[in-house]
């Protein structure tokens, strides 16, 4: 492939088709029904970033680091208790450094029966890494999470959903069942690599269904929490209602240091209770959802 011009309007058709063809959405893997004949699937996920956000930014501020530590001290215990109370299993995505900082936590989460997924080494931005570094970090992260949790990860979510031009090849090399970083649909689909079916299930997230975009705070900027928990609950419930009406997947992304605060964990408690009260709803981990979709489609 010829070197790309800095001016996109000068790209040839083969060049822009090649760019669009990376990690392209293929056939839908949305099943006709979910386990037990359920109409809708709910899959809760928690990105246990903890201290890795400031560390990634080379930010040595004890204040910023303490915000991340809150996820370990208060967020994860509250989340584990909520999930146990409701009898729901979830998927926890760990940066390896976060797991190394809190080995007892990740083991306890795994021992509760929750899924452990790959979420970078130190929450690095893949698209800013030198060639080859993303692969080395991802493979090292997978091995570290397996050692600490006792569970070999079968899925990945790139940090900040920063999916690079190399990410798909790394997923394929690792032999992962699924990815959860791309946003081409509401429901699961098969990833294509330049038109070739990969057999990899994509479980699409979305910023709408992410707690951080509503609650994040950055002290030395204009970024402030601007949405009350009641409004976030309304948005999440509307997304779930839409998935239930269409017989699809409701996938929710949360962060222990964000959703774990007292006023916010309550909205999650009410949301889970509401979803459980609806007929025909199945709760599954990301791995369980991906396996069901893949088996149902005969991939």
* CA proximity to 253, closest of 207, 294, 293: 207
How many angstroms separate the Cα of 7 from the Cα of each of 111, 164, 231?
A: 52, 20, 42
Sorted by where each begins, the domain ranges of the chain are: 24-297
Predicted confidence at residue 151, as pLDDT, reads 97
The pLDDT assigned to 155 comes to 98
The most distant pair of C-alpha atoms in the chain lies apart, rounded to whole Å, by: 58
pLDDT at 219: 72
For residues 167 and 126, give the distance between their C-alpha atoms in angstroms, rounded to a whole number. 8
24-297 CATH pick, 3.30.1330.10, 3.30.390.10, 3.20.20.370, 1.10.3660.10: 3.20.20.370
Q: Which residues are 215's β-sheet partners?
A: none
Residues of the chain with pLDDT below 50 are none
pLDDT value at residue 1: 65
pLDDT for 259: 98
- Residue 216 is predicted with a pLDDT of 87
Give whole-number Cα distances, 131 to 85, 127, 164, 194, 203, in Å. 45, 10, 11, 20, 27
CA distance 229 to 237: 12
Distances (CA, A) of 105 to 114, 154, 219, 264, 294: 12, 20, 28, 21, 31
pTM: 0.96
Please provide residue 227's backbone torsions phi and psi, each rounded to the nearest 5 degrees. -120, 125
């Amino acid at each position: 492939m010829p070197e790309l011009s800095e001016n996109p309007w000068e790209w040839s058709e083969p060049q822009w088709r090649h760019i669009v063809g990376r990690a392209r959405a293929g056939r839908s893997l949305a099943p006709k029904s979910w386990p037990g004949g359920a109409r809708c699937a709910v899959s809760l996920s928690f990105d246990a970033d903890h201290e890795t956000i400031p560390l990634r930014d080379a930010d040595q501020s004890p204040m910023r680091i303490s915000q991340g530590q809150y996820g370990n001290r208060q967020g994860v215990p509250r989340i584990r208790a909520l999930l146990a109370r409701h009898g729901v299993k979830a998927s926890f995505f760990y940066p390896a450094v976060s797991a190394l900082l809190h080995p007892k936590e990740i083991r306890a989460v795994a021992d509760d029966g929750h899924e452990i997924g790959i979420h970078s080494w130190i929450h690095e931005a893949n698209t800013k890494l030198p060639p080859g570094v993303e692969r080395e970090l991802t493979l090292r992260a997978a091995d570290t999470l397996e050692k600490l949790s006792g569970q070999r990860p079968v899925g990945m979510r790139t940090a900040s959903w920063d999916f690079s031009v190399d990410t798909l090849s790394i997923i394929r090399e690792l032999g992962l069942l699924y990815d959860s970083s791309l946003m081409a649909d509401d429901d699961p689909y098969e990833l294509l690599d330049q038109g070739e079916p990969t057999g990899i299930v994509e479980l699409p997230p979305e910023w709408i269904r992410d707690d951080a975009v509503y609650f994040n705070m950055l002290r030395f900027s204009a970024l402030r929490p601007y949405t009350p928990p009641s409004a976030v609950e309304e948005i999440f419930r509307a997304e779930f209602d839409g998935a239930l009406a269409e017989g699809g997947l409701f996938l929710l992304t949360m962060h222990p240091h964000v959703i774990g605060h007292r006023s916010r964990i309550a909205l999650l408690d009410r949301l889970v209770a509401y979803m459980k009260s609806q007929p025909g709803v199945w709760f599954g981990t990301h791995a369980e959802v991906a396996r069901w979709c893949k088996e149902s489609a005969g991939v």
